[in-house]
Amino acid sequence: MLVIIVKKYLAMLIGAVLVFAGCVDLGVPVENWTADDAQPVLSCRTVTEEVPYVEEECEDVTYSEEECEMRALEYTSGNLEITDLCIQGQSSCVGKDLGECINKCTRAMKRCRMDITNNDDDYDGTWTVGATFSYNGASFIKNPESAEIEAGKTYTFDFTQIYDVGFENPKMATCTLTVIYEAIVKDCRMVTRKATECQNVTKTKIVEREICE
């Protein structure tokens, strides 16, 4: 009877072991693991670095510049002064005003003068004046005369013409004086101007990035 009880107990114990062994999942055998089955462990950190970049910078600047222009000087022309003299004929007429004894004069001189005043306070200038004498339908054009006139000064342009009066219906010559070329100067002055100047400037900026290894 005792032998039978021991056998039953052993049978039950063996059965329990088998049941326990069948219910527990032991996973992949250790001897079958490979390197691919292992998950690597990474170490990460944040680093900062300077990165260069180019930026355009602009600023307002002030500068001086010479500015020039051509302009005519202001001037004043005086009244025409005329002198008529007899230089040949009856002795009583020679040297006298032609208007007093024109019938006794055979040859005369006409003198025409005109003042030019430079009204500018700073610049000297050159004026050119021409003269035309006319008598009995004929004209005598004199060579133009040029003169440099200082600032604020006056110059007298003076022209003369000698001519034959004639015996029949004598007449006095006429004259006209004309400013052919006015004084032109290059007037320069310093002016202040503004402008915007731009240039490329290399700068750096701080950039953070994560490094894992």
**pLDDT tens per residue, range 37-85:** 556 677 888 888 888 888 888 888 998 888 899 999 999 999 999 999 9
Does residue 7 surpass a pLDDT of 70? no
Computed on alpha carbons and rounded to an integer, the radius of gyration of the chain in Å comes to 61
Rounded average pLDDT over 197-207: 88
Does residue 182 surpass a pLDDT of 90? yes
| Helix, coil or strand: residue 15 | helix
- The backbone torsions φ and ψ at residue 53, rounded to the nearest 5 degrees and listed phi first, read -150, 160
Rounded average pLDDT over 148-158: 97
* pLDDT tens-digit readout, 85-122: 999 999 999 999 999 999 999 999 999 999 999 999 99
Per-residue confidence band for 9, with pLDDT thresholds at 50, 70 and 90: low
Per-residue confidence band for 150, with pLDDT thresholds at 50, 70 and 90: very high
Pick from 7-21, 30-44, 173-187 the range whose average pLDDT is largest: 173-187
Question: What are the contacts of 146-152 at 24+ separation with CB within 8 A?
Answer: 146/181, 147/116, 148/124, 149/75, 149/116, 149/117, 149/118, 149/124, 149/125, 149/183, 150/118, 150/124, 151/118, 151/120, 151/121, 151/122, 151/123, 151/124, 152/118, 152/119, 152/120, 152/121
Indicate the fold that domain 74-182 takes in CATH: Immunoglobulin-like (2.60.40)
Residue showing tokens 């006794």: 104
Pick from 133-147, 151-165, 197-211 the range whose average pLDDT is largest: 151-165
Q: Show me where the domains of the chain are located.
A: 44-67+191-212, 74-182
